Amino acid sequence: MLSNKNIRGKQSLIKRILSFFEEASKQSESSNSHDILLASLALLIEVAKSDHEVDHIEQQEILNLAIKTFGIASDEQETLISQAEEIAGKSTSLYEYTSVINENYSEKQKYQLIHSMWRVAFADGRIDRYEEHLIRKIADLIYVPHVQFIEAKHHAGELNK
């Protein structure tokens, strides 16, 4: 038969174990959201780089979107953008980003991401064929219907006027 002391000891052990797993889960969620954010920012950077000219205005648009769309605090911007640029520089395929997006984004969030890409592309006042090609490719890879792809383009273009 178990004594009260043994029962309390086992309950304490169970509480510590549960606490450990809760903390690990919180860290995993935080890490996962960081990865999702980096994937999104890296895709925006890829759009800016696709025409082989990264204009200052495109960089500024990415920073604006980081704050407004992704909710990044202004003190975290530079760090996250630098990390995303590093990831984009080392990337060998879009799958690294699009797989993260497909696993974690809703249809609405995917549309918003495509819309954000169009905003970056329109930032310098012109759409380069390489930018459009890349956004179309990403839209296909994250299963955004063509109608929404066009809608996002037109809406972003209207905002740019």
Residue type, 152: A
How far is the C-alpha of 39 from the C-alpha of 108, rounded, in Å? 17
Mean local confidence (pLDDT), 129-157: 96
Lowest-pLDDT range of 22-31, 109-118, 152-161: 22-31
Summarize the confidence of residues 69-78 as an average pLDDT: 76
Q: How far apart are CA 42 and CA 88, in angstroms?
A: 5
* Calpha distance 54→45 (Å, rounded): 9
CA 49 – CA 59 distance, rounded (Å) = 10
Distance CA 65, CA 45 (A): 12
Q: What is the pTM of this model?
A: 0.77
Residue range 145-155: average pLDDT? 96
Q: Where are the beta strands (DSSP E) in the chain?
A: none
